[in-house]
Structure 1
Amino acid sequence: MAERLRFSPLAKEMSAEFAGTMILILFGVGVVAQVAAGGIGDHDSIAWAWGIGVTLGVYVSARISGGHLNPAVTIALAVFKRLSWSKVGPYILAQTTGAFVAALIVRWNYTEVLAKADPGHTIKTQGVFTTLPGNGTLPVSMWGGLRDQIIGTAILLFIVMALTDARNQAPLANLTPVVIGLLVVAIGMAWGTDAGYAINPARDFGPRLAQFLTGYDGAWRDQYGDLYFWVPIVGPIIGGVVGAGLYLFLIGRNLPPEEEPEVAAAEREPKYDPSA
């Protein structure tokens, strides 16, 4: 029997982040293509599919890498010493590449539908892959989009920190990914108007690049002609750090230390061994 291929621990974690983010985008961008270009579904189906995509992506990757799927999460954890800075660049590369590949798959699969809905591949269907201020139709400026992304991602990280803090009332029975998915559904339903709730630099930049390379010449700009691509990158990074910091200041520092459960070592749940 051939010896099993061995990869470094970091390579395994990057593989998990790539796969998890790819799953997220296949469902998220796929549902927007179906609604916007195919005319099937509505805003609620978009919000639910994004949330389900997050849940499934986290389940795919969490055991190996923690299931970040989002550079804003990765950077916030590094800022507050929950992750080594040496992993930040590789994680972000894996997340963005996963999002890029998934967007190419969606773009290929929906080729005919997108061409019929928008033969010129213009701003009309640009929102299938990327976010726009006011979702491309409402009177929200680039700076309004930046404000929205900071607030939305701060909410995301504040609650994600609470849900993953073992000292707090974290979900039991491996349900954390489900609750995080519901959180994304709620953000989509309550905070989706001003900027399309990217709240994730990889989710926006990877598909934006795929979109540009497959015929959307205006992919980097918004409906006003402003260079907008940086907003869903910078806004979530700022908001993620703000949200995580607020959680630690308001809640985390006030929780009692985590107590070691009195369980025999043999009865503990086996942990992933990155050297395997």
Structure 2
Amino acid sequence: MVIFQGAGGWMVIVWGWAFAVAMAVYVAGGVSGAHINPAVTLAFALKGNFPWRKVIPYWIAQVAGCFAGAAIVYYDYFRAINAWNLANHVVSRADPGGLTTFSIFATFPAAYYGSHLGLMLLDQIIATFFLVLFVFAIIDNMNVGPGSNLAPLMIGFAVAAIGLSFGVGTGYAINPARDFGPRLFCWLQGWGPNAFPGPHGYWWVPIVGPLIGAAIAVYFYDWCISRTLCVRARLLKERQPRVEQKGLGFKLEKLQQALDEVKTQIDGADK
């Protein structure tokens, strides 16, 4: 909306992010498991599916990747950003008017939150809780998961659902690296207080909130979903009727086993 001087809308943002996440998972899934989100990495570590010694290196790589992504976007569109600033009489990116172009890269809370950082934090906790919950449900083979390598696309749709439902409050970062990396880049490029500390000191909320939401989602899915699926699978297995093997082929197989046992005993006696 900023670059095209008002063209576009919220749907463009939501679906742009959704397909970006889906394609990123397709690209990196076979290499690193597509851990493009520190909250997801933490969730897998808490669940026991990822080694703790790799968590911090992954977080560093994720932030670096998002920083690089912000740099690519900036250097591709910096003329459009400058044109918008000129058209809207924004003298400095560090001014309050610079918050609009800053929103291309990182997030900030809606004005109706005022200075209530607790409510902003709650928004991020809830949104990331659902993200991690959806991811676990999609990749769980015991659940009703998608087939034909559709999991990355479904994860993208999950991001879209969160954006449509919870996006307008704080910009649905739901990913500490996705916000902190570009925020750091913007600070270096002159957005100043719009980046750090951000409106009402908001900069830490998209880091802490998603990590808390991810941790809650791990234990919720384990207690409420995984255990139910395991119990159901065990009960179904116990209820399956045992099939008796009959027929000439089965009898011949049993006879051969008996002959083999006799032969083994005779060989042992000869020795």
TM-score over 0.5 for the alignment?
yes
**Structure 1 stretches of at least 4 aligned residues deviating more than 6 Å after TM superposition:** none
Residue 112 (1) aligns with residue 79 (2): yes
Equivalent residues, number: 221
Q: Report SS of the residue matched to 1:128.
A: coil
Q: 8 Å contact 2:66–2:177 — kept in the other structure?
A: yes
In structure 1, the residue matched to 2:45 is: 78
In structure 2, the residue matched to 1:243 is: 217
Separation in structure 2 between the aligned mates of residue 142 and residue 104 of structure 1, nearest angstrom: 28
Q: 8 Å contact 1:133–1:222 — kept in the other structure?
A: no
Q: 8 Å contact 1:144–1:194 — kept in the other structure?
A: no
Residue 220 (1) aligns with residue 220 (2): no
Residue 53 (1) aligns with residue 20 (2): yes
Separation in structure 1 between the aligned mates of residue 167 and residue 112 of structure 2, nearest angstrom: 12
Residue 163 (1) aligns with residue 138 (2): yes
Letter in 1 for 2:44: L
Counterparts in 2 of 1:111-260, with a 5 A limit? 111-118=78-85, 119=90, 120-121=92-93, 122-134=98-110, 137-140=111-114, 141-218=116-193, 219-223=195-199, 226-256=200-230
Deviations 1:188-234 (A, max 9, x none): 011012111000000000000111111111211333xx221110000
- RMSD of the TM alignment (CA)? 1.6
Residue 95 (1) aligns with residue 70 (2): no
Q: 8 Å contact 1:133–1:144 — kept in the other structure?
A: no
Q: Report SS of the residue matched to 1:124.
A: helix
Q: Report SS of the residue matched to 2:169.
A: coil
Q: 8 Å contact 2:137–2:143 — kept in the other structure?
A: yes
TM-score by length of 2: 0.78
Q: 8 Å contact 1:201–1:233 — kept in the other structure?
A: yes
- How far the C-alpha of 1:110 sits from its partner, in A, is 1.2
Separation in structure 2 between the aligned mates of residue 139 and residue 79 of structure 1, nearest angstrom: 32
Letter in 1 for 2:55: V
Q: 8 Å contact 1:162–1:168 — kept in the other structure?
A: yes
Higher helix share: 2
* Unmatched runs of 5 consecutive residues or more in structure 2: 238-271
Separation in structure 1 between the aligned mates of residue 80 and residue 11 of structure 2, nearest angstrom: 21
Q: Report SS of the residue matched to 1:214.
A: helix
Q: In percent, how many aligned pairs have the same letter?
A: 40
Deviations 1:28-62 (A, max 9, x none): xxxxxxx2232331100100000000000000011
114-123 or 58-67: bigger deviation: 114-123
Deviations 1:122-160 (A, max 9, x none): 2232211111111xx444532221110000000111111
In structure 1, the residue matched to 2:248 is: none
Q: 8 Å contact 2:46–2:218 — kept in the other structure?
A: no
- How far the C-alpha of 1:178 sits from its partner, in A, is 0.5
* Unmatched runs of 5 consecutive residues or more in structure 1: 1-34, 260-276
Separation in structure 1 between the aligned mates of residue 139 and residue 202 of structure 2, nearest angstrom: 32
Task: Give the structure with higher Rg (CA).
Answer: 2
Q: Report SS of the residue matched to 2:191.
A: coil
Q: Report SS of the residue matched to 1:194.
A: helix
Letter in 2 for 1:222: G
Deviations 1:62-111 (A, max 9, x none): 11211121000001111121100011011111111110001011111111
Letter in 2 for 1:36: V
